[in-house]
Amino acid sequence: MSISTGERMKITILGARGSIPTEGAEMLEFGGATSCVLIETDEWAVFFDAGTGIVNAPEIGDKKIAIFLTHPHIDHLLGLPFFPYITDKSKHIDFYAVKSGVLSARQQLDKLLCPPLWPCSADDYPANFEFHDIEFPVKLGDISITGIPSVHPGGGIVYRLECGGKSMVYATDYEYRDDHIGELIDFAKDTDLLLFDAQYTDEEFEKRRGYGHSTPSLGVIVARKAGAKEVRFVHHDPTHTDEFLLNMEEKIKTEDISFARRGEVIDL
């Protein structure tokens, strides 16, 4: 379905799985593709992360393409070599990342697209890549993107995207910590859509502090305090089957809060 005005955003969850892709009949409802979210406006197709979900990017016509990396962990980059538009020589791809340690955006991608891990580099693909070391805010036409640091091993970015008076916040690979959560709640204030990392159950979280992920119950606290209008939990643990996730979801589900499914579309 096309969007008739520049005031609207269409958000598609292309990958909601965390850490590593999964497959199997017990993983069909939430999907096994790793982190990728597509935000479409009239002019732009903005991808947050390039996990294996980006392999199934839909038809975007002649929209401009930008990819924003939260951090260069492999589950957030693994789909890029098979991004459908990477083999289209008419496409220009703006690739954005915050410097990770001493590595530029280009160098972060080169770590993956480089022998012996992969036979070719970004330069070898027909699409034209342009690399950007992010300085906030980033403006893409009517879109404005800002960010704050995540709480995650090696660092990461939480993004907020605004367009036409609507907003969304993408907080994946984020560990709820009492000394940082206030900054995220302020950053996500009154957002129309919050995507929040809820990889673990409460029990798992206690055993995996420092791994850089959160839980649905902590996500509900963030959502309420921020006043987020809609919430989807993302980065599902690779060991959690559909049945397990449905049980987790049941405990927190409301009209506005649920677990993200691969392929789910949210119109703002």
Kindly tell me which residue out of 14, 45, 47, 73 binds Zn ion, with binding defined by CB under 5 A.
Answer: 73
Q: Minimum Å distance from CB 73 to Zn ion?
A: 3
- Site for Zn ion contains 40 (CB under 5 A): no
- Window contacting Zn ion (CB under 5 A); options: 69-77, 138-146, 191-199, 250-258: 69-77
Closest-approach residue to Zn ion (CB): 73
DSSP code of residue 111: H
Cβ burial of 203 (10 Å; 0-12, 13-18, 19+) is exposed
- Window contacting Zn ion (CB under 5 A); options: 68-76, 87-95, 135-143, 260-268: 68-76
94 strand-pairing partners: 66, 130
Which of residues 173 and 237 has its CB atom nearest to Zn ion in the complex? Answer: 173
- Window contacting Zn ion (CB under 5 A); options: 8-16, 74-82, 179-187, 221-229: 74-82
Closest CA to 18 of 35, 38, 37, 41: 35
Footprint of Zn ion on residues 115-174 (CB under 5 A)? Answer: 173
Report the DSSP pairing between strands 44-48 and 64-68.
Answer: parallel
Which of residues 9 and 218 has its CB atom nearest to Zn ion in the complex? Answer: 218
- Site for Zn ion contains 240 (CB under 5 A): no
Distance CA 95, CA 170 (A): 17
Size, binding site for Zn ion by CB under 5 A: 4
Q: What's the one-letter identity of residue 51?
A: G
Which of residues 94 and 173 has its CB atom nearest to Zn ion in the complex? Answer: 173
Q: Minimum Å distance from CB 259 to Zn ion?
A: 16
For the beta carbon of residue 128, count every other beta carbon within 10 angstroms. 14
Residue by residue, DSSP assigns 187-239 as: HTTT-SEEEEE--S-HHHHHHTTTSS---HHHHHHHHHHHT-SEEEEE-B-TT
Footprint of Zn ion on residues 164-193 (CB under 5 A)? Answer: 173
Contact flags string 10-29 toward Zn ion, x per CB under 5 A: --------x-----------
**Region for 251 from its dihedrals, namely left if φ exceeds 0, alpha if ψ lies in -120 to 50, beta otherwise:** alpha
Contact 79, 33 (CB under 8 A): yes
- Site for Zn ion contains 75 (CB under 5 A): yes
Q: Which residues of this protein are in contact with Zn ion, per CB under 5 A? A: 18, 73, 75, 173
